[in-house]
Amino acid sequence: MAQLFSFGSLREMTTTVSDVPAATCSWCGRENKDRLSHCTGCGTRLVSEPPPEVAESKGPRKALAVCLALAFGPLGLLYVKAWETAFVMILIAAPFVITHTGGLWITIGGRIICATLAYSLAVEGDEAPNLRRDTARLLDEAARLESIDRVKAIAAYEEIVRMYPNTSASKEAARNIETMQRLA
């Protein structure tokens, strides 16, 4: 049976647009004749970023956190790693469970409170800082400032060095500061 395609042709077919540098800089308008990955005028990245993946975040999913809290009450809080809160909710509910008082109201009310807490804690987990994303944005903004105002660009790079010491972003910022000071 004949092979329909080779792996080489499959790789060629799956090459994304993000691999090809732009013909002109979107920031300063300079032409990119050599198809470089960064603009020679302002340093803006000319290779488009791949679209963000639609994969789940690493934090807990909000819907699952709420469903678990509604189904299991305080034990559902353990999914969002709220150990202390789950323990407190169990201590609050324990007297009612032991004495068989409160009935349906304590059960439903407690689960609704747990679901609300689980949702808010899951939302907090989604908003956690992302070092790589944050430093990439700061470096891009500082690079754009280089062609507009060198003093502000150096200040932005120094802020990156101060905020993120001993990271690849701070090392890149320090190199950019040295280069800009040499050229001035």
Which position has the token pair 């049976």? 1
H or E element in which residue 147 lies? helix 131-148
Dig out the tokens for 20 from the structure.
């090809």
- How many whole angstroms separate alpha carbon 21 and alpha carbon 48? 7
Domain that holds residue 84: 62-126
pLDDT tens string 145-166: 888 888 888 888 998 888 888 8
- Is residue 73 in a domain? yes
Handedness of CA 73, 76, 82, 87 (dihedral sign): positive
pLDDT at residue 19, as a whole number: 58
pLDDT tens string 46-86: 765 554 444 445 556 788 888 888 888 888 888 888 888 88
Among 82, 105, 126, give the residue marking a domain's end.
126
Shared-domain flag, residues 82 and 122: yes
Confidence class for position 6, pLDDT limits 50, 70, 90: very low
Dig out the tokens for 46 from the structure.
């000319």
Shared-domain flag, residues 53 and 73: no
Q: What are phi and psi of 16, to 5 degrees?
A: -90, 165
Among 27, 42, 58, give the residue marking a domain's end.
58
Domain count, the chain: 2
pLDDT at residue 23, as a whole number: 76
Asked if residue 128 has pLDDT above 60, the reply is no
Looking at per-residue confidence, does 4 or 156 come out higher?
156
pLDDT at residue 60, as a whole number: 64
**Mean per-residue pLDDT over the chain, rounded:** 75
Distances (CA, A) of 139 to 14, 56, 76, 78: 29, 26, 40, 38
DSSP letters, 110-141, are HHHHHHHHHHHHHHHHHT---HHHHHHHHHHH
